[in-house]
Amino acid sequence: MFKHIKTLFLLAAVFGLASCASPRQANIDYDRTVDFSQYQTFAFYQEATATPAADNTPAEKPAYDPLLDQHFKAAITREMTALGYRLDETAPQLLVNYQTNVENREDVRSSPFSINAGYGYFGRNSAFSFGFPLFGGGVEKVNYKVGTILIDVIDTNAKRVVWQGVLEGRLSNKAMQNPQQAINDSVALIYQRYPTRLTQTP
């Protein structure tokens, strides 16, 4: 249970990217040879279910979606539907996958020079801590976290990514007060640069 609580707070901070003081633009890459009007349906990518051990020990993955996962899927569904796609979990032509990344970074400032270093990993379960400045010897050290949201759109038949959107920014605590709105804003910002459908589903 505590693992899921940590996940909720972490994702809430990550989705605060869209509400940063300085607006950011998502980085987009897609296959320009693909005609996106050929697709009509989508669903969410499902990771392979872990096989229970011989002693029938249940898998660790819960049989439900945490609240923020539900918010995330609702936001993506809203954007995909606005583009003319229809949610179809039976035979989707597109699969949507999303990931988050949290990277620990440190700024070391000693006028007139500054350096930056960081480390991190992808995943939804990560430790979360707030950055703080350290002073000493005329050098200022500031530790902070940078969050990244990655959305992949996959051609189901071809089994390859046809569109990818990435949003990165320094984590904000403000989003924790209203994580659902922060998720909506961040996902909408990423989808602003999705290729426009040439035709709409009747």
Within 10 angstroms of residue 82's Cβ, the number of other Cβ atoms is 12
Other beta carbons less than 10 A from residue 17's beta carbon: 25
What is the tens place of the pLDDT at every residue in 96-125? Answer: 999 877 788 787 776 554 444 444 444 444
Residue 143 confidence (pLDDT): 80
| Domain coordinates in residue numbering, the chain | 2-46+65-191
So what's the pLDDT on residue 31?
95
Residues 170-185: pLDDT tens digits?
A: 776 776 677 788 889 8
| Residue where the block lists tokens 């976290």 | 145
**Domain 2-46+65-191 - what CATH class?**
alpha beta
What is the reported pLDDT for 21?
Answer: 42
* pLDDT at residue 146, as a whole number: 78
Q: What's the CA gap between 168 and 27, in Å, rounded?
A: 9
* pLDDT at residue 183, as a whole number: 84
Confidence at residue 142, expressed as pLDDT on a 0 to 100 scale: 79
pLDDT at 147: 75
User: Which pLDDT value is given to residue 40?
Assistant: 95
Q: Which of 35, 199, 3, 7 is nearest to 100 (CA)?
A: 7
d(CA 138, CA 141): 10
pLDDT at 1: 42
pTM of the model: 0.67
**Which residues in the chain come in under a pLDDT of 70?**
1-24, 48-65, 110-138, 172, 175-176, 197-202
